[in-house]
Each structure stands twice: as C-alpha cells, then as structure tokens.
Amino acid sequence: MPATTNIAAAPRLALWAETAADLMMSNPMSIRADATVREAVEALTDHGFSAAPVIDEAGRPLGVVSRADILVHDREKAAGQGAAPGERPEPGSPAGALDTTRVRDIMTPAVFSVRPSTAAGSVVEQMVELKVRRLYVVEDDGTLVGVITALDLLRHLRPDVPAV
C-alpha cells in the first residue's frame, strides 16, 4: 500500500479589496503627448517602469508608450537610415542627429481603463480577458487618477480565513 501523509492544505487566497480605488496606485507617472521619445526613455528608465500613460493637457490619457514602442521606433528609424538594428551611427552623421519624434507619434493609441468604483473582481477579470499587466483608473470626466498593475493585485492577496 502506498504511504500517505497528512499535508495541511495551504489556505486559499482572497483579494482583499472592494474596488479599483482600493487597488490602485494614485497619481501615476505620465508622459505628455508632446514629449520627445528621448524624454520618454529618460522618464521610464529613471522610474524603472516598462510603460506609462500618455496624457493631454487636461490630464486625460490618450494612449500608452512602452519600452516595446520605443524599440520598434528605434528599429524602424535605423532601417530607414540604412543602419542595422542595434548598430550605432557615427557621431556627427545624419543618422546620429537628434531624434525629435514625439511620443504621440509612437504610442499605442489605446488605454484600457476602469473607474475608481469598479469592483475589484471585475478589475481582475478585465486584466485576464484583455491580457494586460496594467489598467488605468480614470474619473467620469476621463482624468487619469491611478494605475493598477498585476503586482498591485498580488499585494492585495491574503489568506482566506473561513469564518468560525
């Protein structure tokens, strides 16, 4: 007969949040639509983020710029100038000229968002369904007020202790 051991089952995890407002990080870093790609690279690098919302003058998100968007832009720019991807142009050459491309020209023009009052369970479902790592939180007027990342969801998981 096979030996059996009594292993205590790990407690189930539950999301300890009611709404998107409970999950979100307030006042997320954002990038102006008229910022240069270089400014976006600096902002993302300085903060250690892989993406940031692109906002208009009123603080409403217009899109998202990610490291992937920047890499695609660099590859296309290099290909258009006859350089191989990853190849550095010679200093002073036309290919080495300052890139004045604006973030609005390379961003992904879609913003997946929820309202602060959206149920936490719905936030999880949307992230899974959309296959995204972040959702932005916007007020009814469209103003950006927060961001919810997959890590934020993990931070709100706690053992589900049954009521006694």
Q: What number does CATH give the domain 14-159?
A: 3.10.580.10
Q: How confident is the model at residue 99 (pLDDT cuts 50, 70, 90)?
A: confident
* Domain spans of the chain, in order of start: 14-159
Distance CA 103, CA 51 (A): 12
Average pLDDT over residues 69-81: 89
Residue-wise pLDDT for 125-156, tens only, equals: 999 999 999 999 999 999 999 999 999 999 99
Question: What does the buried/exposed string (b/e) look like for 23-38 if buried means 16 or more CB atoms within 10 Å of the residue's CB?
Answer: bbeeebebbbbebbbe
Q: Is 152 helix (H, G, I), strand (E, B) or coil?
A: helix
| Residues contacting residue 102 through CB under 8 Å, at least 6 positions apart | 33, 34, 35, 36, 37
Residue-wise pLDDT for 16-73, tens only, equals: 999 999 999 999 999 999 999 999 999 999 999 999 999 999 999 999 999 999 999 9
Question: What does the buried/exposed string (b/e) look like for 100-117 if buried means 16 or more CB atoms within 10 Å of the residue's CB?
Answer: eebbbebbeeebebbebe
Distance CA 69, CA 75 (A): 10
